[in-house]
Chains A and B, each alone.
Chain A
Amino acid sequence: MHSYFAHLSPQHRRSWLLVVAYVAVLLTISLADFGANTAGQTMFRGVLLGMLIFLVASGLSLIFGLLDVLNFAQGAFLLIGAYVGYDVYLRVDGSADVRFLAAIISGVVFVALIGAIMEMGLIRPLYARPVFQLVLTFGLGAIFLDLVERYYGADPKQPLAPPSLLNSNFSLFGQSLSYYRLFIIVLGIVMMIGVFLLLNRTRIGIIIRAGVQDPEMVQALGINVWRVFTLVFVLGAGLAALGGIALIPYQGATLGMGNQFLILAIVVIVIGGMGSFEGTAIASIIVGLTRAVAEQLSLAHFNAPVLAETSVLLLMIAVLLVQPNGLFGRGE
């Protein structure tokens, strides 16, 4: 870790300082305004939201970094994952643990399969035309949303019982919380570390990072970049689906959740710097915290959720004005 900080570029060092200062300001505001207990709860909620956003945003960031595709269908991946997982959960017999596991596996595999077909069949012919990819994924996202609505109906689905292991409560900051929330945070951290290790400690990770830098050079070295592209796309789709399924016991499944998280994820990768994994991870948590604090603030003072809904976007505009490539982005 020490070597990491020693080798930072000046810009990234400044970004780290900005991040730390910003979080400190958020913490101070919430401590001064809500008192210790509520501030703690708000922070906890913020981290939780941040982890959920991370699951969607990491896939988006990986895909953008390597493939230069801003995948607007990422929200639809989350949506499909959630609905398919929900369906499987209701159909499988057995205890809640078995059902939940079945939901996770089937949802992730199904969405990964969709991702694979989409990348190989539709996106691959369009690598030479970036704007069209954007538009194509946008259209596909609309189609997926429509299909899910057609197949599962427009009514929101109620939250389901989490696995028995996590179905008890614990007390934190004077509030009783389900262990499932802790599980989501742990899941997010595990995925963060997992993807970090995958990118930094494995052969495939080296190829992916090299591909982010210069795909043609990687190809010239005799590596089949197309296969790596597909793998990354599938990985991103699977992560989004995992996020969707993790949401089911927390807030159920609604048709709007895909787009809601897509916008947050886009904000995250813009703030973090496109294609930078550390940036995505840090920005997810910042965005989650901002959103939670703004929600609490508008609840306490404004009697309307304007601040909560605009806070994240305003943060993004501010970051873009200060640092046009995002906090941890590569220079032009």
Chain B
Amino acid sequence: MVERFVFARIQRIPDSTLRGLAERLARLVLENWFFALVFVLLWRFPYIVADLSGSQVKPSRPTGDSAFWQSEMARALTLACLAMSYNLLFGFSGIVSFGHALFFGAGGYVTFILMGHYDAGLQHKALVLVLLVALGLALFSRLRARALVVVTLSGVLLALLLLPAEGAISFWQAAAVALLLSLIVSLTSGVVTLRVRGIYFAMFTLALAEVFWVLAKSGTFRSYTGAEDGLAFRSLLPPALNVTPTADGSRLTMYHWTVVFFAIIFLAIRRYMSSPVGRVMLAIRDNEERAQTIGYHTLFYKVLTMVFAGAIATLSGLLFMIWATDKIVHPDTLSLAYTVDPLLNTLIGGVGTLTGPVIATLGLHLGETYLRNETFTLGTRVFGLLAVWQIIALAIAGALVGVFRHSLTRLGERLIGAGPRTPRYERLMLAYRGGVFVTLAAVLLLIGGQLRGEAEAVYNVADLWDLFLGALFVVVVMVLPHGIVGTWNRLWATRRLRRLERQMRQEREAAGASKP
């Protein structure tokens, strides 16, 4: 509606160059108004929270809802970047990696270890390392991938020459080195292992990440990594990045930078996927052998995507750690938890959709933060639907219906009367199945209420959250196979198709009626 109106107006502009400009502008705005709105909302988020809760955006004392939610939102945004980079691999390229946390954690570890232990001899060591990697890759890689290797490695070499020959290393230089290192690692592991297909690749990456997790946790390197306590970096952080929720507004500035970072990553991924390379990636995801037959060197594209995703994960990991309240890099950032987290968010939001991972991450992370700050009693039934037994009862009822579905169908046919699959029959059958499920669940809930004596017990959401997440996960996998955004998109696509069909039918009928 709006589009048709706007473009009709633009067509009436007499000057052709002006018309072209206006058309481009209108297209830009009309196609991206949603993202622009979200960006503005994110930008204004601290002020909105401040208005709603009556707290200050820049409080004089380090408290207040707005200051608290600024950091929570920023952390959620960095996690959303991680989920998007995982989606780039898993959803857009069909690469199942279980070691994505390696890149996430590496950002913080490499940067702050470098800053703490930099000496001038490091440059030579790094050069030797790069040359060794180059030698290894030259042995392992095939022709087209070799070009990629050469380009990346020469970039890395150039960047290493920019490091200070003496004195301390600044935060930005260290972060750049961390990014370069993650490029090298993803390039190496990609070139060597991406030829291994499917589950073996997943296991390989899992092992690689686990090795580094164990190394980060072990006491052997305590002076570097701080072992299980984590690497404290408060003293290393430059003052501009050391966010404090006080009146100087450094947290607010940092929050806005985080929003900008998020927007850049989002646009970069969108641009990447709509570029020719992205199209090839989609082709590889759908059928790798076909893409190979057409003539694409699939390994090259897969390595390229892996390098890109690894770089995004490294940067968002670094930003995530800067936002940590205790200013410690925990070894858990390398653990499987930070691979599973984006994987879940991608699945729940919608595999292979742009906005799905973002929506799921923001929803789950902010929801968790909100719920963890409250306690609920089962007696009040506020949180009743999510309480333990209810979830179990629903799961058992669902499983029972699934197990006995054949006998249930037979029983249902005896009740309704077996017949052709008319819409009425389908409706009755659906009602019957739903009725059985509800009855079963109700009976189980009743039994549960009888069995469980502590009906008035106070449940801390922190205890229930993992269970809730697991259950949500199972439900999404079983019921919404395309995730939230994927299902939504499909719904819209079907609706549009129906409308188109209806339109064509009407036109056909009109054409038929006009004929004599």
> A310, B402: Cβ atoms under 8 Å?
no
Bound complex: CA A326 to CA B195 (Å):
14
Bound complex: CA A15 to CA B466 (Å):
43
B318-340 interface code vs A (CB 8 A; 1 in, 0 out): 00000000000000000000001
**Contact of A274 with B474 at beta-carbon distance under 8 Å, contacts A138-B340, A146-B466, A321-B192 already known:** no
User: Does A36 lie at the interface of the complex (its beta carbon under 8 Å from any beta carbon of B)?
Assistant: no
**Contact of A132 with B466 at beta-carbon distance under 8 Å, contacts A270-B200, A310-B214, A320-B200 already known:** no
> B403, A121: Cβ atoms under 8 Å?
yes
**Which residue of the partner chain, among B192, B220, B392, contacts A302 with CB atoms under 8 Å?**
B220
User: Does A217 lie at the interface of the complex (its beta carbon under 8 Å from any beta carbon of B)?
Assistant: no
Bound complex: CA A121 to CA B401 (Å):
8
Q: Name the residue on B nearest A68 (C-beta).
A: B199
What is the CB-to-nearest-CB distance from A10 to chain B, in angstroms, rounded to a whole number?
A: 21
Kindly list chain B residues whose C-beta atoms are within 8 Å of the C-beta of A129. Answer: 481
> B467, A121: Cβ atoms under 8 Å?
no
> B467, A143: Cβ atoms under 8 Å?
yes
User: Does B20 lie at the interface of the complex (its beta carbon under 8 Å from any beta carbon of A)?
Assistant: no
**Contact of A305 with B218 at beta-carbon distance under 8 Å, contacts A139-B477, A313-B207, A314-B211 already known:** yes
> B470, A320: Cβ atoms under 8 Å?
no
> A274, B218: Cβ atoms under 8 Å?
no
> B466, A136: Cβ atoms under 8 Å?
no
**Which residue of the partner chain, among B195, B343, B403, B474, contacts A140 with CB atoms under 8 Å?**
B474
What is the CB-to-nearest-CB distance from B391 to chain A, in angstroms, rounded to a whole number?
A: 9
**Contact of A121 with B402 at beta-carbon distance under 8 Å, contacts A313-B207, A321-B192, A324-B200 already known:** yes
User: Does B246 lie at the interface of the complex (its beta carbon under 8 Å from any beta carbon of A)?
Assistant: no
User: Does B40 lie at the interface of the complex (its beta carbon under 8 Å from any beta carbon of A)?
Assistant: no
- Please provide the 5 A-B residue pairs with the shortest distance between their CB atoms, ordered closest to farther: A121-B402, A121-B399, A139-B473, A143-B470, A304-B220
11 A-B pairs within 8 Å (CB atoms) are namely A121-B398, A121-B400, A136-B474, A142-B469, A267-B203, A304-B218, A306-B215, A317-B204, A317-B208, A320-B193, A326-B200
Bound complex: CA A306 to CA B343 (Å):
28
Q: Name the residue on A nearest B399 (C-beta).
A: A121
**Which residue of the partner chain, among A117, A131, A136, A320, contacts B204 with CB atoms under 8 Å?**
A320
Bound complex: CA A302 to CA B388 (Å):
46
User: Does A33 lie at the interface of the complex (its beta carbon under 8 Å from any beta carbon of B)?
Assistant: no
> B219, A304: Cβ atoms under 8 Å?
yes
Q: In B371-426, which residues have CB < 8 Å from any A CB?
A: 388, 392, 398-403
> B470, A140: Cβ atoms under 8 Å?
yes
Q: In B176-221, which residues have CB < 8 Å from any A CB?
A: 192-193, 195-197, 199-200, 203-204, 206-208, 210-211, 214-215, 218-220
> B474, A143: Cβ atoms under 8 Å?
yes
Bound complex: CA A263 to CA B220 (Å):
23
Report which residue of A121, A263, A302, A326 has the largest number of chain B beta carbons within 10 angstroms of its beta carbon: A121
Q: In B426-452, which residues have CB < 8 Å from any A CB?
A: none
Q: Name the residue on B nearest A131 (C-beta).
A: B96
Interface of B is mostly: helix
> B214, A309: Cβ atoms under 8 Å?
yes
User: Does A332 lie at the interface of the complex (its beta carbon under 8 Å from any beta carbon of B)?
Assistant: yes
User: Does B478 lie at the interface of the complex (its beta carbon under 8 Å from any beta carbon of A)?
Assistant: yes
> A136, B469: Cβ atoms under 8 Å?
no
Kindly list chain B residues whose C-beta atoms are within 8 Å of the C-beta of A118. Answer: 399
**Contact of A316 with B477 at beta-carbon distance under 8 Å, contacts A117-B399, A121-B400, A147-B467 already known:** no
User: Does A70 lie at the interface of the complex (its beta carbon under 8 Å from any beta carbon of B)?
Assistant: yes
Q: In A109-166, which residues have CB < 8 Å from any B CB?
A: 117-118, 120-122, 124-126, 129, 131-132, 134-136, 138-140, 142-143, 146-147, 150
**Contact of A313 with B210 at beta-carbon distance under 8 Å, contacts A146-B466, A324-B195 already known:** yes
Bound complex: CA A86 to CA B210 (Å):
31
Bound complex: CA A271 to CA B458 (Å):
48
> A306, B477: Cβ atoms under 8 Å?
no
What is the CB-to-nearest-CB distance from A233 to chain B, in angstroms, rounded to a whole number?
A: 13
Bound complex: CA A64 to CA B388 (Å):
31
User: Does B148 lie at the interface of the complex (its beta carbon under 8 Å from any beta carbon of A)?
Assistant: no
> A263, B474: Cβ atoms under 8 Å?
no
Interface of A is mostly: helix
> A317, B207: Cβ atoms under 8 Å?
yes
Bound complex: CA A124 to CA B404 (Å):
13
Bound complex: CA A147 to CA B467 (Å):
8
> A135, B400: Cβ atoms under 8 Å?
no
Kindly list chain B residues whose C-beta atoms are within 8 Å of the C-beta of A314. Answer: 207, 211
User: Does A246 lie at the interface of the complex (its beta carbon under 8 Å from any beta carbon of B)?
Assistant: no
Kindly list chain A residues whose C-beta atoms are within 8 Å of the C-beta of B67. Answer: none
Bound complex: CA A113 to CA B444 (Å):
19
A281-323 interface code vs B (CB 8 A; 1 in, 0 out): 0000000000000000000001011100110011011001100
Task: Please tell me the number of chain B residues within 8 Å of chain A, measured between CB atoms.
Answer: 43
User: Does B485 lie at the interface of the complex (its beta carbon under 8 Å from any beta carbon of A)?
Assistant: no
**Contact of A135 with B207 at beta-carbon distance under 8 Å, contacts A70-B199, A302-B220, A310-B215 already known:** no
What is the CB-to-nearest-CB distance from B478 to chain A, in angstroms, rounded to a whole number?
A: 7
User: Does B347 lie at the interface of the complex (its beta carbon under 8 Å from any beta carbon of A)?
Assistant: yes
User: Does A232 lie at the interface of the complex (its beta carbon under 8 Å from any beta carbon of B)?
Assistant: no
Task: Please tell me the number of chain A residues within 8 Å of chain B, measured between CB atoms.
Answer: 44
User: Does A325 lie at the interface of the complex (its beta carbon under 8 Å from any beta carbon of B)?
Assistant: yes
Bound complex: CA A142 to CA B481 (Å):
20
What is the CB-to-nearest-CB distance from B499 to chain A, in angstroms, rounded to a whole number?
A: 30
A267-281 interface code vs B (CB 8 A; 1 in, 0 out): 100100010000000
Given contact pairs A139-B471, A313-B210, A317-B211, a sample of 12 additional A-B residue pairs in the complex whose CB atoms are under 8 Å apart: A121-B398, A121-B400, A122-B399, A129-B481, A135-B343, A150-B467, A267-B203, A304-B220, A313-B214, A320-B207, A324-B196, A324-B200
> B398, A316: Cβ atoms under 8 Å?
no
Kindly list chain B residues whose C-beta atoms are within 8 Å of the C-beta of A267. Answer: 203, 207
What is the CB-to-nearest-CB distance from A246 to chain B, in angstroms, rounded to a whole number?
A: 26
**Which residue of the partner chain, among B195, B466, B478, contacts A122 with CB atoms under 8 Å?**
B478
**Which residue of the partner chain, among B192, B463, B477, contacts A135 with CB atoms under 8 Å?**
B477
What is the CB-to-nearest-CB distance from B75 to chain A, in angstroms, rounded to a whole number?
A: 22
Bound complex: CA A129 to CA B210 (Å):
27
**Which residue of the partner chain, among A117, A138, A270, A309, contacts B403 with CB atoms under 8 Å?**
A117
Bound complex: CA A70 to CA B192 (Å):
24
Q: In A237-278, which residues have CB < 8 Å from any B CB?
A: 263, 266-267, 270, 274
B208-238 interface code vs A (CB 8 A; 1 in, 0 out): 1011001100111000000000000000000
> B402, A316: Cβ atoms under 8 Å?
no
**Which residue of the partner chain, among A138, A146, A304, A326, contacts B467 with CB atoms under 8 Å?**
A146
What is the CB-to-nearest-CB distance from B436 to chain A, in angstroms, rounded to a whole number?
A: 14
Kindly list chain B residues whose C-beta atoms are within 8 Å of the C-beta of A320. Answer: 193, 196, 200, 203-204, 207
> B477, A309: Cβ atoms under 8 Å?
no
Kindly list chain A residues whose C-beta atoms are within 8 Å of the C-beta of B469. Answer: 142
Q: Name the residue on B nearest A133 (C-beta).
A: B477
What is the CB-to-nearest-CB distance from B387 to chain A, in angstroms, rounded to a whole number?
A: 12
What is the CB-to-nearest-CB distance from A314 to chain B, in angstroms, rounded to a whole number?
A: 7
What is the CB-to-nearest-CB distance from B173 to chain A, in angstroms, rounded to a whole number?
A: 30
B146-188 interface code vs A (CB 8 A; 1 in, 0 out): 0000000000000000000000000000000000000000000
Kindly list chain A residues whose C-beta atoms are within 8 Å of the C-beta of B471. Answer: 139, 143
Bound complex: CA A140 to CA B395 (Å):
11
Bound complex: CA A117 to CA B395 (Å):
11
> B481, A146: Cβ atoms under 8 Å?
no
Bound complex: CA A124 to CA B214 (Å):
36
> A135, B473: Cβ atoms under 8 Å?
yes
Q: Name the residue on A nearest B210 (C-beta).
A: A313
Bound complex: CA A274 to CA B218 (Å):
31
Q: Name the residue on B nearest A315 (C-beta).
A: B207
What is the CB-to-nearest-CB distance from A320 to chain B, in angstroms, rounded to a whole number?
A: 5
Kindly list chain A residues whose C-beta atoms are within 8 Å of the C-beta of B192. Answer: 321
**Contact of A270 with B96 at beta-carbon distance under 8 Å, contacts A306-B215, A332-B197 already known:** no
